[in-house]
Structure 1
């Protein structure tokens, strides 16, 4: 893991040293930073994505905020289980949910780790989403070391976000 500049260095976090910055491959919206972590599999459908998105703060907290932000991420009828609270800190909350993706290679379960980091002083929610594709589905309360490892990674990314330049927010 190493410190990585986001949004031109206005924000930093830690990311794995071998992460792929998707903005070097295709255009990404100005409010987002998107990264890929390639898995050892030759199946690109199993690559993990991390999306960091600057969003206007929504009213409420925890269940209300996650519900509001999920509307933009996944259709309610596509959620197989969750959102389930994973951890909570002062201004950071993390949820896990399951959805799926159909591909020519078959159906994949997609575990979405959705973390909300709130900055009320700038009326901004930083949404950190990780999509963890799995060929072999896991149940809601099932322990899986690979999934646990990925959840620890996204927790580290979320906990290490630091705003270095508030000018990004017009302050």
Structure 2
């Protein structure tokens, strides 16, 4: 099944991006912090979160990949069990600045295992979540843009075998990576004044 995408304006139109057409703006149903945009899958459990954060400064010997892992670990508690993240450097694939500014861009994919199972009103249990995290580093603006795609895996318990469960997780990861690729390729900063420089 082909995913249909729509244009979305972030932060009052300062950034534009494409997201899946069935995602809705969470600010229409709950309060969202000023430095964050959240979109929810109207047909499921997936969410896409855009965060504008202060740039993580790298200590000597630290890399942009270390900054990506810092953001990842900052989102999830130390008690959370997760698979060793797969990290990709996407910098050369996507130059979003017409001025030629070097914009380091990275993607991480991991599976988070939930220590406490949460049961929805429908009785479905999310036992793990596939996380696809994009990091766009705006060096001159001293800003990191963190895009988190959360794809909860709803367990079917003993009904599905381990091979089926693994296949479903791999499918979720592929969907998340597709979303990330479309987001990254359509991501445009229209108003650089959004990023306050001191």
State TM-score, norm by structure 1: 0.84
Once the two structures are superposed, residues 11-66 of structure 1 have per-residue CA deviations (whole angstroms, 9 ceiling, x without a partner) of: 11111222110001011000000001134xxxxxx510000000111123333102
Once the two structures are superposed, residues 89-111 of structure 1 have per-residue CA deviations (whole angstroms, 9 ceiling, x without a partner) of: 24210001111342134342101
Mapped pair 1:120 → 2:146: no
1:112, 1:132 within 8 Å by CA — same for their partners in 2? yes
Query: Which ranges in structure 2 are unaligned for 5 or more consecutive residues?
Result: 93-103, 156-164
Q: Tell me what 2:113 maps to.
A: 100
Larger Rg belongs to: 2
Q: Tell me what 1:156 maps to.
A: 182
Map 1:9-158 to 2 at 5 A.
Answer: 9-39=13-43, 46-60=44-58, 61-86=63-88, 88-90=90-92, 91-101=104-114, 102-104=117-119, 105=123, 106-136=125-155, 137-138=165-166, 144-158=170-184
Going from structure 1 to structure 2, the CA distance change for 1:111 and 1:117 (only over 3 Å counts) comes to same
Q: Note the C-alpha offset of 1:85.
A: 1.4
2:91, 2:106 within 8 Å by CA — same for their partners in 1? yes
Going from structure 1 to structure 2, the CA distance change for 1:159 and 1:62 (only over 3 Å counts) comes to farther
Please state whether the residue corresponding to 1:82 is helix, strand or coil.
Answer: coil
How far apart are the structure 2 equivalents of 1:8 and 1:74?
Answer: 28
Q: Note the C-alpha offset of 1:86.
A: 4.2
Q: Tell me what 2:8 maps to.
A: 4
Query: Which ranges in structure 1 are unaligned for 5 or more consecutive residues?
Result: 40-45
Q: How many residues align?
A: 163
Going from structure 1 to structure 2, the CA distance change for 1:107 and 1:6 (only over 3 Å counts) comes to closer
1:96, 1:114 within 8 Å by CA — same for their partners in 2? yes
Where in structure 1 do 4 or more consecutive aligned residues deviate above 3 Å?
Answer: 136-139
The root-mean-square deviation of aligned C-alpha atoms, in Å, is: 2.2
1:55, 1:127 within 8 Å by CA — same for their partners in 2? yes
Going from structure 1 to structure 2, the CA distance change for 1:167 and 1:107 (only over 3 Å counts) comes to closer
